[in-house]
Amino acid sequence: MSNASSRYSVLTAAHWGPVLVETDGNTVFSSRGALPTSHPNSLQTVVRDQVHSKTRVRFPMVRKGFLASPECPQGVRGQDEFVRVSWDEALDLIHAQHKRIRDNYGPASIFAGSYGWRSNGVLHKAATLLQRYMALAGGYTGHLGDYSTGAAQAIMPYVVGGNEVYQQQTSWPMILEHSDVVVLWSANPLNTLKIAWNASDEQGIAYFDALRKSGKRLICIDPMRSESVDFFGEKMEWIAPHMGTDVALMLGIAHTLVENGWHDEAFLARCTTGYEIFADYLLGVSDGTAKTAEWAAEICGVSAVNIRELAAIFHQNTTMLMAGWGMQRQQFGEQKHWMIVTLAAMLGQIGTPGGGFGLSYHFANGGNPTRRAAVLASMQGSLKGGTDAVDKIPVARIVEALENPSGFYQHNGMDRHFPDIRFVWWAGGANFTHHQDTNRLIQAWQKPELVVISECFWTAAAKHADIVLPATTSFERNDLTMTGDYSNQHLVPMKQVVPPRDEARNDFDVFATLCEHWEAGGYARFTEGKSELEWLETFYNIAGKRGASQQVTLPPFASFWAENTFIEMAEHPANAQFVRFADFRRDPKANPLKTDSGKIEIYCQRIAGYGYADCPGHPTWLAPDEWHGNAEADQLQVLSAHPAHRLHSQLNYSSLREQYAVAGREPITLHPRDAQARGIANGDTVRVWNQRGQILAGAVVTEGIKPGVICIHEGAWPDLDNTVGGMCKNGAVNVLTKDLPSSRLGNGCAGNTALAWVEKYTGPALTLTAFDPPANS
């Protein structure tokens, strides 16, 4: 048994920032953030739960019905028992079936487009390592886009020449100095800034705290009074439209600008194209319906008086529209960010210090100025002599691809056909949690001949696999990372804290071994003759060369690694003055955007030419299939927002559940009016259902949500109980959400498009089993 004197701290990092982990070399005792902050991050405190969880995959496991007959499997995925096998047996079995499927159906039949928030680090990226192996084996089907921003990242290149959702924003020092009004539009930074795609630099909430104290006018437009509104308190005004109606609200504001002559005609003429065509729609010339404040009010549930007031505020002040991503995760989501750019263009403030729009202030601390940095290289793109993806499908269309092999679909101006997927290998993600319409996914998931999951934990995806391989957590291996997806503020060693638990192995070693199965010398081809630490030294030395051009000098790798501390990069004074689109605004001809016209495209001829009814040639109000305007009696709109105490589905099993679970389930937030009409009280267990499925959740009754809307945070692990009609006992919202594309342009996920009924639950008590490993595991 360990004593306190044998304990020490190891520096590592996760998506939620640099972390100091207390250990004795075998057991994790505690963890805390390594950077000074006045805004503690709950996610940094549960490393112990991650390493020592009962939910860990401990050994290689194979589904019983698959093991009995691999070429003609028996049983049902998700309902069958698992059998423990040795690593050699598991890898031999995978290789034999992989080779059979590849030989018979070709590389396109193998889906290795694993998607998800994988463990942080530049070497041990699960999907990258999987795809490296598949490339050496002869190619695979990959994926396009992501669930977070599928609609926005498709439309924005047409409109402003870049995806915007993953680009640096006008710097925070400029916002704090020059903005008069800041609008959080469908953004909840207090939750989402806890994490970053790399590691958080942890500066974002501090900037929002400075904004809170700045005396500026602050407005939040969101169907729910989020944690961020509570953070700002009386300093922030909350406006709650009906879900999915943001375009109508923006059109009403835009019409008011024109009505009063407040739109910036000079900016529109000099820096945009197609405004006249859009104006005909806005004013009702082209369709007979003027998009007045009164018209918008009928749709969005915000009064015409408030809409006109917003137009006046935005016009009279330097206004920054900070837009989140939730509103584009809806049917016709492309229209939301296209319209917010159009509104900002009409205000004429794009490219000014403190004005315009920004699409990543709520993610990875966009706006934290980029440092003069030595930026790490990674395993991505380092492969030599392999065959990369031979086909790619939009990531959110995986179910359609499984349901409709060789089926026709359209994507971003292209006519395409789905591949005939026979083998799925998913690593570094939890698709059963982030994909919509879970029951439809379960049915489609039965179709491949082989499903392999590499996982640390017994997620729903692992429980629906044929073969499950136990992966190490990031705390059981060595790696490196940067903090700040935009700032590159720190270079952090991710030192191994404890040995791998049970039989867990690094994905790097697993795929290298499988490459040797594929051909003699395959292990060496995969590893290029380098060990884990040799790869890290390579990436570090490349960072040193990159840093030299920024006047940054790194110490030798050996001394850096031994010191167990991070390197903070130097500030770059010019970057603190960065204004997005400033050069373009100053001289559009000399600094054209990467659009067809070189300008902001309010009307896009190329998109219009695609002829997509679900994505016309200019921003347009399109009523979703399921929304307030067509709800049946007693139906409510389902909002699936980002949770406060986990990263999507990561950490759902951890002790942080105690901070948010209600009645032992995922919470559901609903308005007192809706609760009273259904006889629901705070703390009750409720049943939520629609034609796609049913879940149990715990009621949180509050006036901090729009009547007619319920919020169930995304990321709860599915826990379907077939003894009670497939009821999800853990409150996984995607059991309810509709699986349809945002449009044929982006094919993004539309997870915020759903209606459901709610009632107090009076059925039998049901025990939560989401986090229990299968028997014999």
Tokens in use for 682? 């705070």
Distance CA 295, CA 164 (A): 30
Which is it for strands 414-417 and 490-494: parallel, antiparallel or unpaired?
unpaired
* String of DSSP letters for 594-660: SSSSSSEESS-HHHHHHT-TTS-SS------SSSGGGPPTT-EEEE-PPPSSSBTTBTTTSGGGGGT
Please, what is the Cα angle at 73 between 67 and 79, to 5 degrees?
85
- What are the residues whose beta carbons fall under 8 Å from the beta carbon of 3, sequence distance 6 or more? none
C-alpha of 506 from chain center: 24
CB 471 within 8 A of CB 441: no
CB 101 within 8 A of CB 450: yes
Nearest to 283 by CA among 293, 275, 291: 291
Distance CA 209, CA 190 (A): 10
Active site positions, annotated: 115, 117
Q: Output DSSP code: residue 56.
A: B
Distance CA 689, CA 683 (A): 18
The amino acid sitting at 43 is L
710, β-bridge pairs: 638, 670
- What are the residues whose beta carbons fall under 8 Å from the beta carbon of 328, sequence distance 6 or more? 149, 150, 151, 152, 334, 336, 337, 742, 748
Encode burial over 638-671: b for 16+ CB neighbours within 10 A, e otherwise.
bbbbbbbbbbbbbbbbbebbeebbbbbbbbbbbb
Tokens in use for 294? 């009164």
Q: Kindly report the backbone phi and psi dihedral angles of residue 468, in degrees, each rounded to the nearest multiple of 5, phi listed first.
A: -120, 125
Distance CA 158, CA 175 (A): 26
Give the count of beta carbons closer than 10 Å to the beta carbon of residue 384.
8
Distance CA 693, CA 686 (A): 14
SS3 716: coil
Q: Output DSSP code: residue 109.
A: G
Distance CA 388, CA 561 (A): 33
CB 750 within 8 A of CB 698: no
